[in-house]
Chain A
Amino acid sequence: MARRNSQNWNNLRAALARPQVILTVVSLTIAASLPFAVKNFILFQLTLAMVYAIAILGLNLLTGFNGQFSLGHSAFFAIGAYTAAIMMDRFDVAYYWTLPVAGVVCLAFGFLFGLPALRLQGIYLALATFSLAVAMPQILKSTPLEPWTGGVQGIVIIKPDAPFGLQLSSDQWLYFLTLAVVVLMFSCAVNLTNSRTGRAIVAIRDNPIAARAMGVDIAYYKSMTFGVSAFYTGVAGALGAIVIQFVAPDSFTFAFSIGLFVGLVVGGVGSIPGALFGGLFVLFVPNIAEHVSKGLAGAVYGIILILVIYLMPSGAAGLVRLIVGKIARKSARQN
C-alpha cells in the first residue's frame, strides 16, 4: 500500500515536473469550451479581457523584460485601432488583414519613438511616453486628420460574421479569433524571451554596462523592444476596434495607459502568463467596484487595488512563484 502510494506520488511529481504544460492545456480547454457555456455579454467581456491581455503583454515586454517604463501605450493601442478602423471603413479591407498591418504600423511608430527615448531613463522616459498618451486623443480629434479619423465622432465598424459557414454567433467567432491571436502572440513572446535576443533584452534591464561589455548593441535592442512592444499593443488595438465595433479619440486617453500599467503590475512584472490575469483584472475589477457602490466606485477600486498590492506585492505571478517555491521546499524537506 505504502509502495503504491509512493509510486503514485512519483508519477504525480513526474507530471508536475512540467506544470506549465498541464496548466496551459487545462486552461486552453476551459477557454475553448467557455463560448458554449456563458452568455454573449460575458463572452464579449472575456474577449475584451484577452485583447487587454495582449496589450499588457506588449507593455510587459518593454517594462518587465527591458526595464523601460512607458505610460504611452494607450497611444499605440489607438494607432492600432485607428489603422484597423480606417482600413475597414475607408478602403473596405477585410478585418483579418487589419491585424498584421496595424501591428506593423505600430512597430514602425514604436521603433521611431524608441530612438529618442534611448536618451531618457526612468521618470524622464515616463514623462516622454506620458506626453505621447496625452497628445494622442488631441491629434486624433484635430482638424487636418478629421477626414480620416472622423474627428470626435470616431468611426463605426461592422461586426464580422463567422466564416466558412461555421455555426457560431459573431460574438463566439470573435472570441475564438481573439483566443487564437492570444495563443499565437503569447507563444511568440515565450519564444522571444527564451531566445538569445530575449537574454540580451533582459541583460540590458539588469545591467546595461555589463550588457554592453558582453557586446549587446543596446541602442538597437532598446528601440527594437520598443517597436515589438508597440507591435503587440497595436495588434491588440486593432482587435479591440473590431470587437467593440467603434473607435473614438476619447477611448484612448491617458487613463487607458494607466489601466494597462495597473494590469501589468497586478499580473506580475516580467511574467508572460501574468498578462492574462492583468487583462481580467483591468476589465472586471472596475465593474465590480461600480457594483459595490455607484457613488464611491473610484474609492472601492482604489481600496481593492491597495489590498491586491498588499497581498501580492509582486503581482499574481509573484504570488504563484512564492507558493510553488514553498511547496517545492516542503516536498524537498520530506524527501
Chain B
Amino acid sequence: MDLLLHQVFAGLSTGGIYACMALAIVMIYQAIDNLNFAQGEMAMFSTFIAWQLLQWGLPYWPTFLLTVTISFCGGVAIERVVFKPLKNAPVLSHIVIFIALFAILNSSAGFIWDFTIKSFPTPFGTAPLFGNGIISSHDTGMIAVTIVLLVLLFAFFRYTRIGLAMRATAANPESARLVGIRVGWMIALGWGMAAAIGAVAGMMIAPVVFLEPNMMLSILLYGFAGAVVGGLSSPLGAVVSGFSVGVIENLAGTFIPYVGRELKLTIALTLIVAVLTVRPSGLFGRILVSRV
C-alpha cells in the first residue's frame, strides 16, 4: 500500500510535466486545428533563452516574464514568416513544415548552446514538501502553475471576445472571416500563445529533467498522448490525462512483473490506443457530428 501510494505520487509529479506539455499542445490545436510536432522544441528553445538570460545575471522572475514575452513574439513570427505564405498548401505539407521546424530548432539549440547537460534553477526550492519526501516543493509548484494556467486559459477562451474569436477561427475559418474576425491574426495569436505556454512548461520541466536540446523528445510523446487521450478540444481533459499518463506509466513499471519496467512506455501507449478505440474523440473531447 505504501509502495502504491508512493508510486502514485511519483507518477503525479512526472504527470505534471506531461500535463503542462499537453496543455500547450491543446492550445495550439485550438488555434490552428493541427498537432504541432515542433511544440516541444519550441519550449526547449525558450528554456534555453531563459537560461541565457539567467547566465547574464537577471533574477528569476524578470527572466520568466521576459522569456514568455520573447517566446510569444517568436511564435507569432514563426506563423507570419513560415506558415502564412503556405496557408493554401495541403495539411500534410504543413506537418512536414512542423518536422522541418523541429529539426531547425533542435539543431540550432545544440549549435548555440552545445549538447552538454545544464541545470536550471527552480523558484520553488527542492526541499520535500511533506516529511516523507514523496513529492517535492518544486513538483507542487509545477502542478500549481499548470492549474493556474488552465484556469487563466479557460477564462480567456470563455469570457473574452478575442478568446471567442479564436475559437470561431479554429472551428470555421470561412464563417469567422465573414463575421469580421481577422482570421490570419487569430492564428498568429494562437501560435504566440502556444509558444508562451510552451516556454512556461519548459521552465517548469527543466529543473527536473535538466536542460539539453533533446530534453523534450520523450516528454513530447507523453504530452501528445495526454492531449489526445483527453480529447484535443478540451484543455481540462489534457491536464487530467497528462497526470493519468504519468501515474499509469509509473504503476505499470512497478506492478506488472517481468516486462513491466522494460515496456512501460509500450504499456502506457497500448492503454491509450485501447481508450481511443472505445472513445474515438478522447475522454473529454466533444464528439463532432457532421451533417450531410
Contact = CB atoms under 8 A, between A and B. Distances in A.
Contacts of B269: 131, 134-135
A221 B282 CA distance: 25
B107 A265 contact: no
A52 to B, nearest CB: 16
Interface stretch (B60-68, B135-143, B246-254, B271-279): B271-279
A302 B107 contact: yes
B99 A258 contact: yes
Interface of A: 63, 116, 119-121, 123-124, 126-128, 130-131, 134-135, 138-139, 141-144, 209, 258, 261-262, 264-266, 269, 295-303, 305-306, 309-310, 313-315
B224 A138 contact: no
B126 interface: no
A264 B99 CA distance: 13
Contact of B103 (A120, A127, A295, A302): A302
B272 A127 contact: yes
By Cβ-Cβ distance, the 4 closest A-B pairs, closest first, are A298-B107, A302-B104, A131-B269, A313-B89
B270 A135 contact: yes
**Most A Cβ at <10 Å: residue of B35, B86, B225, B273:** B273
B48 to A, nearest CB: 15
Instruction: Report the contact-size class of chain B (Cβ under 8 Å from the partner).
Output: 35 or more
Contacts of A302: 99-104, 107
A284 B82 CA distance: 24
Contacts of A119: 276-277, 280
Given A296-B107, A299-B103, 20 more contacts: A119-B280, A120-B280, A123-B228, A124-B280, A126-B35, A127-B225, A127-B228, A131-B273, A135-B265, A138-B263, A142-B259, A143-B258, A143-B259, A258-B99, A269-B92, A299-B111, A300-B107, A302-B107, A303-B104, A313-B88
A10 B197 CA distance: 63
A306 B95 CA distance: 11
A220 B244 CA distance: 34
B96 A124 contact: no
Contacts of A266: 96
Interface string B78-111: 0000100110111011011101111110111011
Contacts of B232: 123
A53 B100 CA distance: 21
A262 B169 CA distance: 28
Contacts of B97: 305-306, 309
Contact of A127 (B224, B262, B265): B224
B95 A139 contact: no
Contact of B96 (A143, A209, A265): A265
B77 to A, nearest CB: 14
Nearest to A269: B92
B281 interface: yes
Nearest to B259: A142
B266 interface: yes
Contacts of A305: 96-97, 99-100, 103
B221 interface: yes
Contacts of B262: 138, 141-143
Interface string B192-211: 00000000000000000000
A120 B272 CA distance: 12
B292 interface: yes
